[in-house]
Structure 1
Amino acid sequence: MTTTTDFTVLRDALGPLKDRERVAERLLESSAKHSFDPDTELDWDAPFEPDKWFWPPELVSLYGTPLWRRMSEEQRLLLARHEAAALSSLGIWFEIILIQLLTRHIYDKSLTSAHVGYALTEIADECRHSKMFARMIRKAGVPEYPVSWTHHNLARLFKTFSTTPGSFTATLLGEEVLDWMQRLTFPDERVQPLVRGVTRIHVVEEARHVRYAREELRRQMAVAPRWKAELTRLSAGQAARVFSVAFVNPEVYANVGLDRQEALAQARQSAHRRDVMRAGAKRLTDFLDDIGVLRGVGRTLWRDSGLLA
C-alpha cells in the first residue's frame, strides 16, 4: 500500500500535478473553438491527383529496402495508398478501444464535472474521427485492413481488465506515434489534399486528447499502489509489442503484388523503419520514463517492441 511518505516522494519526483478540473475546463474551451466536422470541412468530391502520395514515402514500411528499390514508382504509390488505408483501419480499431476505456474511466465519477464533460467531448471526437477514417478508405477504393484475430481478442481482454493508468498509457501509445506521422503528413505537398486534410483535423483535435491522457496518467501514477504500478508497466510493455507489430498489416503487400513474406521480412529488418518508429515514439517514451512507467520487465518489453532504443 502506498503511504503518505511514498506519495510525497512520487509527487516531488513527478513535479506539481495540475488541477484536474482546470485542465478539463481549458480543454473544453479549446474544443469549443477548434473542433471540425469532416463531412463539411473536407472536399470529398474532388478527384485524387494521380501523381500524389497517400502517405509520405519515407513513412511507408518498405522505404529504403532492396525491395523498394526494385519497385516501380506506380507500385510504390499503390503501396502507400494501401498502407494509408491500413493505418486508418488501425486508427478506427484503436479509437473504438479508447471510447470503451474512457467510458470505464468516467463511470464512477461526478457526471457534472468538467473532467467527465471533457471525456464525453473526446468520445464524440473519436466517433467523428472513426467515421472520417472509414470514409477516406472508401474514397480511396481500397480494402479495409482489420487487425489480426489474435490482436483483436488481446485488446478485448485488455480493455476489460486494464488498470486506469494502464488504459491511459495505451491511449498515449495509440495516439502519439500516429500523431507524429500525421504531423509530417499534413504539411507535405507531395501528399493527396484529402489525406492532408484528414490528418490536419486529427492532429488538431488529438492534441487535446494527448494533454488529457498525459495529465491523468501523471496523476494516476503518483498515487497508484505498488501492485497497480507494476501491472501498468507490464501491460504497457505488452501493448507496445502488440502495437509495433500491428502497425504493419502484411495483407497490403499481397494486395499490391508483392511477396508477402519477403516484404514483411524486409520491413522488419529495415534500419530506416526502426528509426521511424523510434522517432515517432520518442516523445512518449521520454514522458513515460519521467513518470516511472518504463521500469523493470516493462522496460525490457518496450525494447523488444522496437519503440525504445
Structure 2
Amino acid sequence: MTTPSRRTTRDQVAARLLGGSIRRSHNSLVEIDWDAPQDPDLFYMPPETISLYGTPLWEKMSHRERVELSRQEVANTFSRAVWFENTLNQGLLRTMLYQDPTSPHVHYALTELGDETRHMVMFGKMVSAIGAEPYRLSRLQVLAVQAMPFLYRGLMLYVAALCGEEVIDDVQRKYLAHPGLQPIVAQTMRIHIAEEARHIRFAREGVRRRMQTAPWWSRTFCATANGAAAFILDKMFNDKRAYERCGLPVREAVRQAKANEYNRAGRRAAFADFREFLEDNNLLNVVSRAAWRRYGFLA
C-alpha cells in the first residue's frame, strides 16, 4: 500500500507533469503539413544510423538507393512504435483500475494515454505520408504483443515503459541534430521528443518509488525481463523486409548489418544513459546483460 508521504510525492510529481502537459502539448494533425513535398535527395534518417552504413553493400549503393533504404527503415521503426504504444496504453489502463481516479497521478496517466494515442496516429500518418507500406507484425508477434500488457504490473510497468522510450528518445535526438533530414521527419521527432520527456520522467519516478517497496522476486523479474527489450529494439531498427523492398540481397545485407560496427557503436551510445539508470537501480543482471550485449547495446 502507498503510504501518505509516498502518495504525496507521487502526486506532486504528477501535478508538475500535468502542468507541463497544459503548457506544451501537440497535435500533429494540425501542426505537421502531411502533404508537403519531400526532397528525393534528403535522407529520412541520418546516414550513420542506417543499418548498412559503412558496409561494402553501402559503398556500392547510389545516393538515391541509400535514401530509399532510410525511408524503409524509418517506416519500420514507426510501424513498430505503434504497437509498443498500444501495449503501454493497455498496461496503464489495467493499473488504473486499482488506483484513485481523483488523484493527480491517475490524471497524469490518463494524459499520457492521450499523448500516446496521438503518437500512434502521428506514426501511422508518417508512414503513409512518406509513401511507404507499413511493416505489419506476424501472427506470432501479434500473440506475443497481446500477452505483454499482462506482465505490465507494478514495477514492471514503469521498467517496460522506459525500455521502449529511453533508447528511442536518444536516437531521435540524433535525428534532429542532422542538418539534412526530411522536414516531415524532423517535425515528427520534435513533437515526440517534447512529450516523451514527460513520459520518461513519470516512468523514472515510478521505478524509483516502486523499488523502495517491491518484493525481491519482482525486482529480480524486472532485472531479468528488461533484456527482452533488446530483441524488440533490434527489430525496430532492423527488419530484413526493408532490404527486400530496396531490391538488395537479403541474406548478405542481414549478415553485413549484424557485423556492422557503426550499428553497434550507435546502439551502445543510445543505451548508455538508460544503462546507467538501470545500474543505479540494480535492474541489470547476468541474463539481461547478456541479452543487451547479444543485440549490440553493450560491449
Give the alignment's TM-score, normalised by structure 2.
0.93
Where in structure 2 are the equivalents of 1:189-268 lying within 5 Å?
189-268=179-258
1:137 to 2:147 alignment: no
Aligned with 1:56 (options 27, 46, 50): 46
1:304 to 2:294 alignment: yes
Aligned with 1:89 (options 73, 79, 84): 79
Return the offset for 1:234: 1.8
Return the offset for 1:132: 0.7
* Cα distance in 2 between the residues matched to 1:30 and 1:149: 39
Name segments (4+ residues, structure 1) moved above 3 Å. 147-152
Give the match for residue 39 of structure 1: 29
* Percent of paired sites with the same residue: 39
* Cα distance in 2 between the residues matched to 1:298 and 1:18: 33
Aligned with 1:281 (options 261, 266, 271): 271
Give the match for residue 157 of structure 1: 147
* Bigger mean CA deviation after superposition, 158-167 or 187-196: 158-167
Distance 1:52 1:114, change over 3 A: same
Return the offset for 1:148: 4.1
Distance 1:131 1:56, change over 3 A: same
Structure 2: unaligned runs, 5 residues or longer: 1-5
* Cα distance in 2 between the residues matched to 1:218 and 1:147: 33
Give the match for residue 109 of structure 1: 99
* Contact 2:151–2:157, Cα closer than 8 Å, also in 1: no
Give the alignment's TM-score, normalised by structure 1.
0.90
Aligned with 1:30 (options 20, 43, 51): 20
* Cα distance in 1 between the residues matched to 2:250 and 2:51: 13
* Cα distance in 2 between the residues matched to 1:36 and 1:301: 35
* Cα distance in 2 between the residues matched to 1:165 and 1:299: 19
Residues 195-223 of structure 1, C-alpha deviations (whole Å, 9 max, x = no match): 10000000000000000001001111221
Give the match for residue 13 of structure 1: none
* Cα distance in 2 between the residues matched to 1:200 and 1:239: 24
- Whichever residue aligns with residue 122 of structure 1, its letter is E
* Cα distance in 1 between the residues matched to 2:208 and 2:139: 32
Return the offset for 1:150: 3.6
Residues 94-128 of structure 1, C-alpha deviations (whole Å, 9 max, x = no match): 11111111112222010011110001000100111
1:70 to 2:60 alignment: yes
- Whichever residue aligns with residue 27 of structure 2, its letter is D
* Bigger mean CA deviation after superposition, 118-127 or 216-225: 216-225
Distance 1:190 1:300, change over 3 A: same
